[in-house]
A and B are shown apart, each in its own frame.
Chain A
Amino acid sequence: MKRWLGVAAVALWVSGCKAPLRPEPATPVPATVEELTAAIAADSRRSDHEPDSKVRDQLAADAGRNADACIARAPQAAACLYYHAVALGLEVRAHPTRAGELLKTMLDAASRADAADPEYDEAGPSRIRALVLTRAPGWPLGPGDPDAGLVAARRAVALRPQYPANVLALAEALAKTGDAAGARDCYARARDLAQALPTSTDRDDWLRDAEKGLQRK
């Protein structure tokens, strides 16, 4: 039963690792690093709102292929390493029974992206690490480690303090490690930061997440 519970938990956290909305690629077959990462970002966004598991499987497979192609073209590029982590997040959602192995690879990809360019996608590598470490099942079932998640979230906020997703990740990490007051402050700050931005899907999602966090006791 216990191991199953770890598996069942996986789908909870993957949706939070979504990438920001990017334009659809201009060509049907992505060729450049920019096109490939844009295609993965689009798959990630679609998967987040896709109710059909078969479609999510296809999106995960598509993102995986594009991530492999990106790494083959530019193995050290922060963009490829970062979107490799994003693609692995989709794969975890599609294949939760392989979560343990995939999560570790995902954390590794995010760490390598962080080493290449910590500020990529508004400190995205640290943000992804924070979300995975905070939400994944903990030792010994998975690589979840709330203490390390808090460190990664603080790093993301230190790098890009005005980006609402980073502040939301910190709020979640604080809540998980028992600092309810700190979490509330961060949820309120994330809401204020999002409200100051122009209308967008991301802004709506951040506001919704902040309100949900503020409603928790």
Chain B
Amino acid sequence: MPMTTLLMAAVATLVFCAPGYPGGADDAQPLMDQFAKDTIASTGWSAGSFAAVYDPTEQGGLAKLGNADSVVAFMPYAFYVQHGDQLHLTPLAEADVAGIGTEERWSLVGAAAGATPPALAGYTILSVAGYAPDFVRHSALGALNLPADVKIEASGQLLSALRRVVAGEKVVVLLDQEQAVALPTLPFAAQLKVLAQSPPLPVALVVAVDSRLPAPRAKAFQTALLKMKSTSDTDTLGSLRLKRFVLPQLPAHADKP
């Protein structure tokens, strides 16, 4: 039996990869089930032929993407830059996120009285995207030419990280747009400053994984995504804080990570 026929018989699965952000797979599953149900309704695929699962860790997401039935994935752009080449990911759509849009700028934040780029030798960059050093070095901070000994670490505890900056440790923090916008709300905001900012970058992508989904089905899935639209915060996309999907418009040279 041809491999594509075998795959068609299995449950095609979408993996939501979300390293660095809070939330557990069990809590997310009802939303995943609803998303899968809407996709089935929109594509006309047979009931039970498509599922969605969620993983809040990088390693867990990679493990799930290693399964042959994982044919598509939703992921932050950082994850795509870090693993797109190795996993043979092809962008199908770009997420339009409520309150952010399709693109965001990342901001490198340090102490107001501290070192400025490029004098960051010996510093550690902490970020929710720290699991993706290629993204940090080449996409978010590509223009900075970071010193070779800069360490990049993943951290979801940004408040603690920013306190370390203010305390004078050799630490800077890379914030996404939502985090950077909230910076002035911190009581110690005056002791921080934005050292650098990325160009606008996609927030999140839906991708096909390693051509596991036959081309006509991939096209049908993409068409279904582009038709989806949130009309309230309680519908499927609204519950996911998504407004809609658009065709991917990746930064120059980023279509092949």
Contact = CB atoms under 8 A, between A and B. Distances in A.
Nearest to B75: A1
Interface string B73-94: 0101000000000000000000
Contacts of B28: 5, 8
Contacts of B22: 5-6, 8-9, 137-138, 141, 144
B27 A4 contact: no
A102 to B, nearest CB: 16
A140 B100 CA distance: 14
Interface string A1-21: 111111111111000000000
Contacts of A1: 16, 18, 21, 74, 76, 95, 97, 203-204, 240-242
A138 B156 contact: yes
B31 interface: yes
Contacts of A147: 159-160, 163
B176 A4 contact: no
Main secondary structure of the interface of B (DSSP, over half): mixed
Q: Which of A1, A5, A7 has the most CB of B within 10 A?
A: A1
A6 B176 CA distance: 15
Contacts of A139: 158-159, 179, 182, 186
Chain B, interface size category, equals: 35 or more
Chain A: interface size category: 20 to 34
Interface string A141-177: 1001111000000000000000000000000000001
A104 to B, nearest CB: 12
A183 to B, nearest CB: 15
A184 B176 CA distance: 34
B204 to A, nearest CB: 5
B32 to A, nearest CB: 10
A97 interface: yes
Interface string A63-84: 0000000000000000000000
